Amino acid sequence: MLLPLHGRKNILLHGLPGSGKTTLVERLVNKIPYPKRGFYTREVREKGRRIGFKIVTLEGKEAWLAKRGKGYPQVGKYKVYVELFEKLAVPTISEVKENEMIIIDEIGKMELFSKPFQEAVLKVLDSKAPVLATVGYGLIPFVEELFKREDAIFAEVTPESRDYLVDRIAVEFYRPGFLIAIEGLDGSGKSTFIKGLAQKLEEKGEKVCVTREPTSGEWGQKIREHLAAGSKISPQAMAELFLRDRREHAQNFLIPKLQDGQIILCDRYYLSTMAYQGACELDIKEIKKANETWAPVPDLILYLKVSVEEALKRVNQRKFYKPEVFETQEFLTKVASIYENNLKYFRHEIIDASASPEEVLERAWEALSKHLEAWKERFR
């Protein structure tokens, strides 16, 4: 399996009824080249009227999950057939074999009447098997706990996102390339560092591309204009601009390059948005979830750590320097704290950036080499 190195192998899709979650899962099952086990939940209609839901395994076996009528347990107009569900569906996600991917469509109110199903879901999410699951809405304690998991990638399925999500989700399960995000305060030396790192990788014969965020696209230009002018734009509006820029960047550049097997060096990524907009009092976890609907999780973050005082000193020494709205010691102290508190969600290396550029590059290369070896090991 060419799973990404970032380590988050569970993807939970959520969306309103009718958003196309099952159709998306079916397209992903056909696209991702791994052995798979699991099931779909499908509507059953007669003369245009929904009469119930069936469980259909990936092997083509079927059983009723729920049907119009009275009985126990009951969800709305539907009687739930817990025993039939347990007999057919639960074994498909319980008997996990090596190198198999697990498909669960869906984890919802009807399915959760089964205690063995709940146990099987938790077991497989905690296993080494990659899991693609859809999750229902509603105030269901089991579902609410799933949304608290820090080891999962959450993606919201909407009519706007569902076609795009085919490639976006597939690249989390099958990724020949390697995405490295370079993060740190302005003044930590990212630009010089990235040039040196790209040169070292090219000398080793690697296919390397360098990019940055905000991009030079329509939304990225708007962001830069606001930052340069010190606009009094709300943190929510700025976060939305970054999200639009990142979506375009991922769709047009990051995902195609990862599919092509290239190493990407990205100067800032969505951890920056978490840090800077989080310092503006926005919900950091919600920023992370919203961005991961659209943006591939980086395989590795190289965080260039430098004190706030040193970062400001370096920035102030630049020629033609015009301070941005974010560049105050108090604000950047918050940013640095959020950066370091949220690195735990990513595979990362912290590089002491207080030394000379040559020393920083050498330390980073030493740290990166082991991750490059692990990436290459997947192809052997």
Type of residue numbered 317: Q
Contacts of 298 (CB under 8 A, 6+ apart): 6, 179, 180, 181, 266, 269, 346, 347
188 labelled as ligand-binding?
yes
201 labelled as ligand-binding?
no
- pLDDT at res. 154: 96
**Domain residue limits, the chain:** 10-172, 178-378
Residue 334, classified by CB atoms within 10 Å of its CB into exposed (0-12), middle (13-18) or buried (19+), is middle
CATH number for the domain running over 178-378: 3.40.50.300
196 labelled as ligand-binding?
no
pLDDT above 80 (res 138): no
The answer to whether 281 and 338 are in contact (CB under 8 A) is no
- pLDDT at res. 324: 56
- pLDDT at res. 11: 97
Average pLDDT on 116-130 reads 95
- pLDDT at res. 98: 75
Residue 380 corresponds to which tokens in the numbers above? Answer: 């052997």
Alpha helix (H) residue ranges in the chain: 21-31, 82-88, 90-94, 115-125, 141-146, 164-173, 190-203, 218-229, 235-249, 255-259, 270-278, 284-294, 308-316, 329-342, 357-377
Which band of pLDDT confidence, cut at 50, 70 and 90, is reported for residue 227? confident
- pLDDT at res. 340: 96
Residue 93 corresponds to which tokens in the numbers above? Answer: 């996600």
241 labelled as ligand-binding?
no
Beta bridge partner(s), residue 213:
none
CA neighbor of 335 nearest in space, from 374, 277, 293: 277
pTM of this structure: 0.92
pLDDT digits (tens, 9 = 90+) for 292-349: 999 999 999 999 999 999 988 888 877 554 555 567 889 999 999 999 999 999 999 9
Average pLDDT on 261-270 reads 97
The answer to whether 131 and 102 are in contact (CB under 8 A) is yes
pLDDT digits (tens, 9 = 90+) for 75-96: 999 999 999 999 999 999 997 8
Contacts of 361 (CB under 8 A, 6+ apart): 193, 196, 197, 200
CB atoms within 10 A of CB 159: 11
The answer to whether 240 and 186 are in contact (CB under 8 A) is no
- pLDDT at res. 325: 55
187 labelled as ligand-binding?
yes
- pLDDT at res. 326: 64
Residue 280 corresponds to which tokens in the numbers above? Answer: 């503006």
Strand order through the sheet with 348-352: 208-212, 263-267, 178-183, 300-305, 348-352
Residue 354 corresponds to which tokens in the numbers above? Answer: 């207080």
pLDDT digits (tens, 9 = 90+) for 340-379: 999 999 999 999 999 999 999 999 999 999 999 999 888 6
Same fold, 10-172 and 178-378: yes
Angstrom distances, CA of residue 36 to CA of 10, 101, 174, 186, 263: 14, 5, 14, 45, 28
Residue 111 corresponds to which tokens in the numbers above? Answer: 């399915």
186 labelled as ligand-binding?
yes
Per cent of the chain over pLDDT 70 is 97
Alpha carbons within 13 angstroms on the beta-carbon side of residue 111 total 29
352 labelled as ligand-binding?
no
Alpha carbons within 13 angstroms on the beta-carbon side of residue 18 total 1
E strand or H helix at 182, and its extent? strand 178-183
Average pLDDT on 229-256 reads 94
The Cα–Cα gap between 96 and 74 comes to 30
CATH architecture observed for domain 10-172 = 3-Layer(aba) Sandwich (3.40)
138 labelled as ligand-binding?
no
